[in-house]
Amino acid sequence: MTTTEFATLRRSIEQLRRSVADVRGAFGDAPEVRRLVNDLERLEIDAGELAAVHPARGVPDLVPEHVVVPDTPLDESMFSDADDEGLGGYHGDRS
């Protein structure tokens, strides 16, 4: 985002702040109004953090590494000393 875009974002947030204040004046301290105030505060925090990031231009989006998970059976020896969840534990011979 450019400086102009951040300035526009800040003006929009300020306009939203005035609108939420008007709603608060009309509806008082209702739960819905408190949520709006909380959402506005979160929006301001997120916008401030975003402004501090300064994304690099021309850098492609990072794509997460593709991990292949095989659907073949797992080696049973990996679980030889594990308890069976939900069954209260199994402490005997598994054969």
pLDDT digits (tens, 9 = 90+) for 14-25: 999 999 999 999
Average pLDDT of every residue of the chain: 83
**Structure-model confidence comparison of residues 76 and 92, the more confident one:** 76
The whole-angstrom distance between residue 53's C-alpha and the CA centroid of its chain comes to 17
Strands (E) in 1-95, as ranges, are none
CB-facing half-sphere around the CA of 76: CA atoms within 13 A: 2
d(CA 6, CA 57): 16
pLDDT digits (tens, 9 = 90+) for 65-76: 888 988 998 888
**Residue 90 pLDDT exceeds 80:** no
Domain ranges for the chain = 3-53
Those residues whose C-beta lies under 8 Å from the C-beta of residue 27, and which sit 6 or more positions away, are 33
Provide the terminal-to-terminal Cα distance of the chain, rounded to the nearest Å.
Answer: 63
pLDDT category of residue 53 using cuts at 50, 70 and 90: confident
pLDDT of residue 65: 85
